Amino acid sequence: MEEIAAGPLLSLINTPADLKKLNKTQLQQVCNELRQFIIDCVSIHGGHFGASLGVVELTVALHYVLNTPDDQLVWDVGHQAYGHKILTGRRSVFHTNRKYGGISGFPKRSESEYDAFGVGHSSTSISAALGMAIASKYKGETSRQHVAVIGDGAMTAGLPFEALNHAGVSNSNVIIILNDNNMSIDPNVGALKEYLTDITTSHTYNKFRDDVWKLLGKLPAADFQKIGSKIEAGIKGMVSKSSNLFEALGLRYFGPVDGHNVLKLVETIDHLKDIPGPKLLHIKTVKGKGYDLAEKDQTLWHAPGTFDKITGKINKKIVTTPEPPKYQDVFGHTIIELAEKNPMIMGITPAMPSGCSLKYMMEQMPDRAFDVGIAEQHAVTVSAGLATQGMKVFCNIYSSFMQRGYDMVVHDVAIQKLPVIFCLDRAGLVGDDGPTHHGAYDIPFMRCIPNMIVSAPMNEAELRNLMYTAQLDENTLPFVIRYPRGQGVMPEWRTPMEKIEIGKGRVIREGQDIAILTIGHPGNFAVNACNTLEAEGLQPALYDMRFAKPLDEQLLHEIANRFSKIITVEDGTIVGGFGSAVLEFMAANNYTPEVKILGIPDRIVEHGKPEELHKECGYDADAIADAVREMMNVDKFSAVTV
């Protein structure tokens, strides 16, 4: 991987201290060079794209004005933070971004002192920055700044409003910058979008804003402080109702400000530093700013992969033969097939209609499929509400995002035995997004809940069958279907759907001496391992168990009576997962086979391609074959016992 060349000014900037050496008149050139560097690097190496382009000017302004890292700067989600990383000493290694062994695609505390808070999921910035501000206030660090940069997509979650509610009464020195680009990955939804638009277009409010900023420019900070409260009290009744939300929560609201005017941002942030207490600066930006195609199709260019930066042609793999689809697309098309036959089916997703492919149903059946914004808790409970009225709800949430809605799964779904169908996309090791996005924990945290069915398909046909089974009237319990990111294994995947008996596994391959028990997509790794072992004269039995809960106890009794050596394979954490469930069964029934569990180890797994991470974690085809040889005490290159 070759380092990308930087422009003449950017090449001189290795820390924010270098940036501060420049004259303000040079900042626009720095912005131009930084934006071009991001385009050059992402076009060759891939990664997130549009979000960081939209905050180039803000990034430069923040590091020019603030005294980072002493001043604490928190980036929400982290998609926005590429420019931040480049300006804080990581330009020379930025080409390793999201690569195995390279730097993270998100801010990460262990990576840099400038990354004040690790992120990946959305909506955490205000809470984190407020916590830092409260600590600084307690320690008497009165001059220290604490800044949260949150996209308006992240504001559709509940956590930011909880934080705003606290910030307004904390009297802590925190600046909240609302980056209003009307986007998360897909376009924003909900009343908040309309609210921010109302602020932006309010002529009365904008005239007030302009007058205030003119006044700020003429008065010394001390004088402004003396009369500021009187100004606020006198004119709140004159401005648009839209200005009241943040102010009613106790924050001083400033904006909207052009987020692509770097000099205005420098001036504004510099003024805000001198105003004590919680403030919110509302800036207007364009996601993908500076790259025309990214501005026009912001969803496509959120993370387009590699592309030709001149023509804008996104590099696609040349396909000469039919390929298996992505699991998410199998879900997206299958739910429509089911919904066409069952009028009670509805679909819910928290801000991932493209990622989980519910967008197809939203386009064809807009009254039956809903994007509720970045609000997993709401997604779960609104699904529960629908289920009380007899609806068959497919609630599609990324596995790692499901963690945010866990209380509602227990309190609102499981306790009430409501048959919500949770389709957990991105289960297992997701790859380049790394530890914040790995779907490692859903088997343990779902199977420990009473009244819960937990399943995973080995292939596309099994996914369709599980979806079909889950929506049948005879199923009266919550039903989890977890599946990985990426392609399946069946080019011809549109198979007739069949009912699967809940809690029943299946025999994939008869064998002897040792049994391999798998759940989900890693069963395909085990098939490949068995093919390799068969050529060496070994014949392990292979079972696709399908369900982590309820387990197929009849099949497990048969296996325990036939085999003294068992290997379990899963793409979830070893602690508390499917393998643990098998061991619990063995212990409860006084079986004593030798059992080896393969899966995600009890540590944080970093980013990399899924195949790289499967190998690292020891459950790819080679690792499964090695585990069989080890347990059978057989050398890899010989079928004879050593």
Task: Kindly list the catalytic residues.
Answer: 287, 376, 404
CA dist 244 and 348 (Å) reads 31
**What is the distance between the alpha carbons of residues 412 and 415, in angstroms, rounded to a whole number?**
6
Closest CA to 610 of 524, 525, 486, 482: 486
Q: CB neighbours of 345 closer than 8 A, spacing ≥ 6?
A: 335, 338, 339, 368, 391, 392, 393, 394, 471
Nearest Cα to 561, choosing from 600, 601, 590?
590
Sign (positive or negative) of CA dihedral 567, 569, 574, 578 = negative
Closest alpha carbon to 633 in 535, 509, 514, 527: 514
The encoded tokens of residue 341 equal 């036959």
Rg value, the chain, Cα? 27
CB 500 within 8 A of CB 470: no
What does each C-alpha distance from 370 to 191, 350, 355, 380, 423 come to in angstroms? 14, 8, 14, 12, 15
Q: What is the DSSP string of 239-251?
A: S-GGGHHHHHTT-
Q: How far apart are CA 73 and CA 105, in angstroms?
A: 17
Output the 3-class SS for 323-372.
CCCEHHHHHHHHHHHHHHHCCCEEEEECCCCCCCCCHHHHHHCCCCEEEC
The DSSP bridge pattern shows strands 146-151 and 72-75 to be: parallel
Burial of 596 (0-12, 13-18, 19+ CB in 10 A): middle
- Contact between 598 and 568 under an 8 Å Cβ cutoff? The reply is yes
Q: Tokens 């999921």 appear where?
A: 121
Could you tell me if 303 and 471 are in contact, meaning their C-beta atoms sit under 8 angstroms apart? no
Do the beta carbons of residue 478 and residue 514 sit within 8 Å? no
E strand or H helix that includes residue 388: helix 376-388
Helix (H) / strand (E) element for 234: namely helix 221-235
Closest to 467 measured CA to CA, from 337, 324, 343: 337
Closest CA relative to residue 160, chosen from 249, 254, 35? 249
C-alpha dihedral (151, 51, 488, 497), degrees to nearest 10: 40
Reported as half-sphere exposure (CB side, CA atoms, 13 A), residue 211 has a value of: 11
170 contacts: CB under 8 Å, gap ≥ 6: 130, 133, 134, 278
Say which residues have a Cβ less than 8 Å from residue 131's Cβ, sequence separation at least 6.
none
Q: Decide if 494 contacts 324 (C-beta within 8 A).
A: no
Q: Within 13 Å, how many C-alpha atoms sit on residue 73's CB side?
A: 27
C-alpha–C-alpha distance, residues 586 and 591, integer Å: 5
Residue 471 has which token pair?
Answer: 């929506």
Q: Which residue has the tokens 């950017």?
A: 10
